[in-house]
Every structure is written in structure tokens, then in C-alpha cells.
Structure 1
Amino acid sequence: MTDTLNRTAPAANDVGQELRIEGLAAGYGKVQVLWDVSLHAAPGEFVAVIGANGAGKTTTLRAVSGVVKPSAGRITLGGVDITRAEPSRVVALGLGHVPEGRELFPHMTVRENLDLGAAMSAAARARAAETLGEVYALFPRLQERAGQLAGTLSGGEQQMVAVGRALMACPSVLVVDEPSLGLSPLMTQTVFEALKAVNAQGVTVVLVEQNVNLSLKLAHRAYVLENGQVVKEGTGAALLADPAVREAYLAL
């Protein structure tokens, strides 16, 4: 990754939808994790959400995809209220979620895992063959491994499957949780370049990632979460140059 990835405006296209979160509060049982979180990603924008472990980043994405039900606030996707929608409804409206830890079906093949990504939407099923070709073009190794059990793949290959599965749903907004977790630097670069390419095609991308340096270089804009609250926001380039961000997350 080079500094040429720094960007300050979204791609000019109409493929992606807007994702907007307003005053979000959420947690697990009696344990509250998020307090009044507000952020948005404009159509075609690449937004990074950074912060330490336990800051609430994963919970934010789970609330967006319907896995966690908010206790307060509002979430809209392309102007449609999805605050307490079921995950299947959220996927049908255009959201793709690449979860932390990949969550593949290890005893199913690569191809079977990918096919599952298109199963939740009639529109995605209708163009599944075309989308599969696009996924294979993005990750040629998956075509080579199509008949291999997902559980026997390397960590990087599994991450490719997780991203590919989400893309099979033909999302207009893709949320991605810690894609570099456990990956080598080379495989991390491969996955990040794929996300950059997806965004260049017009898909709105929201990335949660511990690799702050790469995230901020790739993002048009970014948010910093601390203790379940947004404490900073700005362009990726501005936050990368922010002394407080550099000291806290880049050890500089």
C-alpha cells in the first residue's frame, strides 16, 4: 500500500447506497456497548471505523446488519429504516456483511460457501453466475480452490471466501469487520486491494480494522470510536496526520 491510496472524495457513480446511523445505542443483555453513535457513509464512499479492542466497532456493524437489535437510535440504508429489521431483510435491501472471524461453513466447499451468498436475494440469485465470475476475477485463487473444503484453506484464502460470499449478494453497501486479522502482510495487501477495487466499482464500503495505517490511507473519511462513542471524525488523510491518532493507534 502506498500513499496514493489517500482519497478525499467518493467515486463518482450511482451503484452504492447511503448508510446512516443516528444516535445508536446497543449492547448485549444488560451490558451496553454503544452510546449515541452517529456516522454515515455516502453513496460510493469508503469509510473506516477505527478504535481499540472493545470500543464497539463490531457491535456497530452487527447492529447495521440486524444481528444486534439497538435499544435506541435509527439506522437507514438507502433511506429505508432498517433499525430493527431482520438480517434477511437487510441483505435483500442491499447490505453485505463480512464478519469478524469469517464464519464460513468449514465442511462445505469454496463454491458452496460462495453460492450461499446469493441465496438471500432473488435479484442476486438471478445474476449469480455473472457475479461468481466477478468474484473469481477479483480472487483467482478461489476459482482454483472451488471444490476444496473451506476449512482446509489458509487464513488468507478463507478471508477471500468471506469477502466473495458477501459480494455474491450484490450489495450496494459492504461492511467489513477486521479483514486483516491473522493474515500475513502480503495477504492483507491482497484483501485491501480487493476492497479498493470493489469500492471503485461504486459499492459503498464501511471498514472496521485494527490496521489503522492501511485503513486511513484507503478511506475517504473515518471515525474513531472509544468506549462506545465517536470521539473523532475526518478525512482519512486528516486523521492519519492527527498527532493524537498517531500516538494512540500508530505508536508514533
Structure 2
Amino acid sequence: MRLTIENLKAGYGKVQVLWDVSVTVEPGEFVAVIGANGAGKTTTLRAVSGIVKPTGGRVTLGGTDLARLSPTQIVKHGLGHVPEGRELFGFMTVLENLELGASVRAEAKAKKSETLEHVLTLFPRLAERRAQLAGTLSGGEQQMLAVGRALMSRPQVLLVDEPSLGLSPLLTHTVFGALKEVNREGVGVLLVEQNVLQSLKLASRAYVLENGRVVKQGLAADLLKDPGVREAYLAL
């Protein structure tokens, strides 16, 4: 399922954050959006998933216009979102948080047991802690749970916002490894991440966002060699 973002404008109140942002994720593709703090990366994902209403432009998923849909309706159409900050229900168990992820889409409800088994295979630590309250998990475990909960909806395209934030290198490797595996299974991934080196190694294509505008785009391997990108984001 193709995700198309065309000339997207969005912001908060009178403050405009995005100006004419255009990004595409082809079916089964892994795409990264990189940029500094405040570049508009998180706002882009929030505008796609309906948390922030766009003020201009167009977002379609598999040809369906998402602009007038609620976040719940957007999930029903096959979009998953792993938000910055995880936003788990800390008073609920790991298992309850995961099951909540399967509560919207009909396909997810029908295949909940199968999907749960798959998620717990991806993240064995969650299987060990399935009865533990989410609020008592470590930061890395909470990030695994946030990804797992989104996967429970059986998305066609997964938005992932800063998954490595606050994680150790080992846990970052685990989370990124799971995203790569999910992508190999055919799920399109749109990753927003400050770990530029890791992002460009994972993605097939990438976009560079600065001050709410796309300033570079291309094959991730090419951007990894781009002198401007290396100087600005990789300190090379």
C-alpha cells in the first residue's frame, strides 16, 4: 500500500511548522526522514496519522484521502503509528497494551492471537514480562512495547518516531532489527530518527527535513555519502 504525502502544511495554532512537505513510501519500502530537532519530523508523522490536522496539501494511503478521517479511522485503513514518547498505558499490563493495539481493525481482531505470537517472537523480553505493568518497564522495554502495540493492528504502513531516543546501543540494535524484519515481511516503514547513520543504513530512500521543508532526498546510500549530510549530521 502506497503512502503519499503531497505539499503538506501543518502546525500548531498560528505557528506553521511544515511548508509543502512531500514524501512517498512505496509498498514494502523503508524510508527515513532525518533532520535536527525542530525540523518538523514529528509534526509530519502526526499530520499523517491525524493527530495534527493538516492546513494544506494531501495525504493518501492506498489511494484513500486521509485528511478528513479521525486517527481511529486512519488506523482502520492500515496505518500504524509508534509515537515519540511511546504513550503507553502505564497502569495496564504488557499484554493488555498489546491487545489494545488489535482493537480497531477487523483483520487485527480476527488474527489477534497469531499477531500476538509474532510480536512476542520479535520481542522475547515482552513475552517474559507480559503480566508486568507497562509503567514499570525499562525505557527499552517500553519502546519494544510501543512498536509491538502498533504492529498488533497489522498495519500496511508503519510510522515510527524516534525509536532510539534514550536507548542503549544494544537496545537500539534490537528495536531497529525488529523494524527491519517487519519491513522484510512487507510492511512499509516511515522512520523519523535523529540517529542519522543508523537510519541511512536501514532505509532504501531518505529525505532531509530542515525548518519544515524537504531540502534533500534520494537513495539512502547516496545521502550517506553526501558531503553536506555528512558534515551536518554525521560530524564527518
Band of TM-score, shorter chain: over 0.9
**Per-residue Cα deviation, 1:9-31 (whole angstroms, up to 9, x for no partner):** xxxxxxxx110000100000000
Residue of structure 2 in register with 1:211 after alignment: 195
Any gaps of 5 or more consecutive residues in structure 1?
A: 1-16
Aligned match for 2:40, one of 37, 56, 64: 56
> Are residue 80 (structure 1) and residue 64 (structure 2) matched?
yes
Cα distance in structure 1, aligned partners of 2:113 and 2:28:
24
Cα distance in structure 1, aligned partners of 2:8 and 2:63:
16
Any gaps of 5 or more consecutive residues in structure 2?
A: none
Residue of structure 1 in register with 2:161 after alignment: 177
Aligned match for 1:143, one of 123, 127, 131: 127
Structure-2-length-normalised TM-score: 0.99
Tell me the matched-pair count: 236
Residue of structure 2 in register with 1:240 after alignment: 224
Residue of structure 1 in register with 2:115 after alignment: 131
Residue of structure 1 in register with 2:144 after alignment: 160
Contact 1:70 1:84 in 2 (8 A): no
Give structure 1 regions of 4+ aligned residues with deviation exceeding 2 angstroms: none
One-letter identity of the residue aligned with 1:133: E
One-letter identity of the residue aligned with 2:117: G
Residue of structure 2 in register with 1:46 after alignment: 30
Residue of structure 1 in register with 2:89 after alignment: 105
**Per-residue Cα deviation, 1:54-104 (whole angstroms, up to 9, x for no partner):** 000000000110000001000000111102310011000000000001000
CA RMSD of aligned residues (A): 0.5
Contact 1:94 1:170 in 2 (8 A): yes
Cα distance in structure 2, aligned partners of 1:137 and 1:77:
28
Residue of structure 1 in register with 2:76 after alignment: 92
Cα distance in structure 2, aligned partners of 1:101 and 1:68:
16
Cα distance in structure 2, aligned partners of 1:103 and 1:160:
12
One-letter identity of the residue aligned with 1:227: N
